[in-house]
Structure formats: C-alpha cells, structure tokens
C-alpha cells in the first residue's frame, strides 16, 4: 500500500486549505486540497459561461421551463428492458459536456459502474413528473428540464430514459446554488454524496511507487469500491488530459504488465464517438507519471 502518511480520509467538508483559485472559493472550501480537480478550460473544450451557467438554485428548480436556454426532456431516470424491468445505470450513461464538473461526473460514473444500486436507490420519480434525488442526507426535487448545451447529456448517445446523470448534476447544482458552482471539485466527496459511504483520498507524489499505487487500486477493485483517478496539472501521459478526473473501471495484470482501465466522463459526445474511445488502458507506471490523487469510496 502507499505510505500511510500520504493517505487521508476525504471529509465531506474541510476548511484547512491552501488559497483556492479566486474564481471558485465556494467549491474549494468544501474539498480536500489533495483531491481537488480544477478542470476548467479542459473538460470538453470551451466552457460555456452563459446566463444559464450561473443560474441560481431557485431558477434551476422552478424557472428553467420559462427560459429558451432550457428544454424539458421526457422520459425516466433509467432504462427498462422488454419486460419492463429497470436496467442498472452504467458508466457509459455519463456524457459530461463543457461544464468543468468532471469530478462529479467521474464520481457518478464510478458509482454506476461499481455500485449501481446506490444510484437507483437515490433517484425516484414523483407523480407530477419531478424527480427526487438524494445527495448525502438531503433530497433535492428537480424537474427534467435541462440546459440546452454544455451540460451532462440527458439523452447520451440519443438514448431515451437515461436521465439519471443529468438529474444528479442538476440536483447537485441546485444544492450548491447554481451550475457555475460545480466548476471544480472533489470526486471523493461526490461519491460520498451518492453512496453515503466515506471516501479515502491517496495523493500521488514523486516518491509514489508503481507497485504501491497498483496495490491500492487492486484492493479497491477487489473490494468492489467505486474509484476515481485525478491527473495532475501538467505532464499527463497521452491520452490522459491534465487537471481531469477519470473513473476507474478495472485493475488487472497481463503478461507481467500491470494495467488500469479508466473512463473519461466526456463520454460519447452525443453519439459523435464510440464509448470505447473514452475507455483507456493505462500502464500503472504511466498513472504514476500522470496522477495527482486516487479516491476510493467505502474503502
């Protein structure tokens, strides 16, 4: 395992931080410094700081339908099969958009991938068509009315009845005070809000050994824990991007080489690319070169 001095519990709220980026003090104040991901200008390309981007919590919940910047999307949170049985959400349902909330989207994809029942158990539809989304110990009531562009895709790859990721993002925005408040954050905290379990953040430094990082990730995978991986601010090994959060899909060894498979929450970009293009098999040594932190939920 990585040296215990490098491993700290990711608390839901922390105040002991170095000075955060001036534009995002509200978000930074909630997150552990080692696990903070500032993916502005990297997540999906150009960030769309529109009027809708800074919409207040009340407007997100109530007035979205009155704006041409929003569209109501018909459907349910989760797909059903031919027999009407609800199908579990998957990591591939997450299609981030341009908002810099890779930390939230990677965390949501990680929970869907490893503990999908938590996602299903925290989202329910009301008789009036609104949805209850439980984040931590609070439940947000949101409509299926979403910003037209730049946010989590409510119909990823043109799939119907896959609203859950967009609902989670909207509920998180409502709780935080607006979509713009989600620009940068901690995926460990995001997973905590979705599972109710604590997350552990392990920093990756110049002294981190590849075998130790692999041991940490393999233990998380073997324990069926949702996990995310944060890249550092520069020097990430291609195809990884700097200042970005990824979902850990798998951890394995093949022909003596240790690998980790990651998912980029940019997703299929409204069907413009295959899901496989966003799933990256990385050598563990390259993750050490690229990494800033690993978050393990429930570990």
Mean pLDDT of the chain: 81
> Could you list the residue range(s) of the whole structural domain that residue 261 is in?
4-10+198-297
Q: What is the pLDDT of residues 114-123, one digit of tens each?
A: 999 999 999 9
The answer on 181 and 113 residing in a single domain is yes
Q: What is the DSSP string of the chain?
A: ---GGGEEEE-S-----SPPPTT-HHHHTTS-GGGEE--TTTSSSS----TGGG--HHIIIIIGGGSTTEEE--S-SS-B-TTSPBPPP-GGG----SSS-HHHHHHHHHHHHH-HHHHHHHEEE-TTS-EEEEETTEEEEE-SEEESSSS--SSGGG-SS--HHHHHHHHHHHHHTSGGGGSSEEHHHHHHHHHSS-EEEEE--TT--HHHHHHHHHHHHHTT--EEEEE-SS-PPTT--TT-EEEEEEEEEETTEEEEEEE-TTTTTTTTS-GGGGEEEEEHHHHHHHEEEEEEE--
Q: What is the pLDDT of residues 139-173, one digit of tens each?
A: 999 999 988 777 888 888 777 889 999 999 999 99
Work out the average pLDDT over 240-269: 96
The answer on 228 and 137 residing in a single domain is no
Work out the average pLDDT over 278-287: 97
* pLDDT > 90 in the chain, percent: 61
Instruction: Select from 134, 155, 185 the last residue of a domain.
Output: 185
The answer on 207 and 179 residing in a single domain is no
The answer on 169 and 65 residing in a single domain is yes
Provide the pLDDT for residue 153. Answer: 84
pTM exceeds 0.95, yes or no: no
The answer on 89 and 169 residing in a single domain is yes
């Amino acid at each position: 395992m990585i040296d215990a001095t490098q491993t700290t519990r990711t608390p839901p709220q922390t105040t002991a931080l170095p000075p955060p980026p001036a534009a995002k003090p509200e978000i930074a104040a909630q997150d552990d410094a080692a696990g903070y991901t500032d993916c502005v200008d990297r997540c999906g390309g150009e960030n769309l700081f529109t009027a809708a981007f800074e919409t207040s919590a009340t407007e997100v919940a109530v007035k979205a339908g009155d704006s041409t910047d929003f569209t109501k999307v018909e459907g349910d949170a989760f797909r059903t099969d031919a027999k009407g049985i609800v199908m579990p959400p998957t990591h591939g349902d997450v299609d981030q958009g341009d908002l810099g909330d890779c930390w939230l989207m990677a965390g949501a994809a990680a929970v869907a991938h490893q503990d999908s029942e938590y996602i299903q158990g925290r989202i329910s539809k009301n008789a009036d068509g609104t949805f209850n989304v439980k984040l931590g110990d609070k439940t947000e009531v949101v409509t299926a009315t979403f910003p037209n562009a730049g946010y989590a895709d409510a119909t990823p790859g043109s799939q119907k009845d896959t609203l859950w990721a967009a609902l989670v993002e909207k509920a998180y925005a409502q709780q935080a005070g607006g979509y713009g408040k989600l620009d940068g954050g901690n995926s460990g905290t995001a997973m905590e809000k979705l599972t109710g379990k604590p997350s552990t953040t392990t920093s990756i430094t110049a002294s981190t050994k590849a075998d130790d990082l692999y041991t940490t990730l393999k233990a998380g995978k073997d324990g069926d824990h949702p996990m995310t991986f944060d890249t550092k601010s520069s020097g990430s090994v291609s195809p990884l991007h700097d200042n970005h959060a990824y979902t850990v899909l798998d951890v394995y060894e093949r022909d003596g080489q240790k690998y980790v498979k990651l998912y980029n929450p940019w997703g299929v970009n409204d069907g413009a690319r295959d899901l496989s293009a966003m799933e990256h098999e990385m050598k563990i040594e390259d993750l050490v070169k690229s990494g800033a932190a690993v978050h393990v939920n429930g570990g």
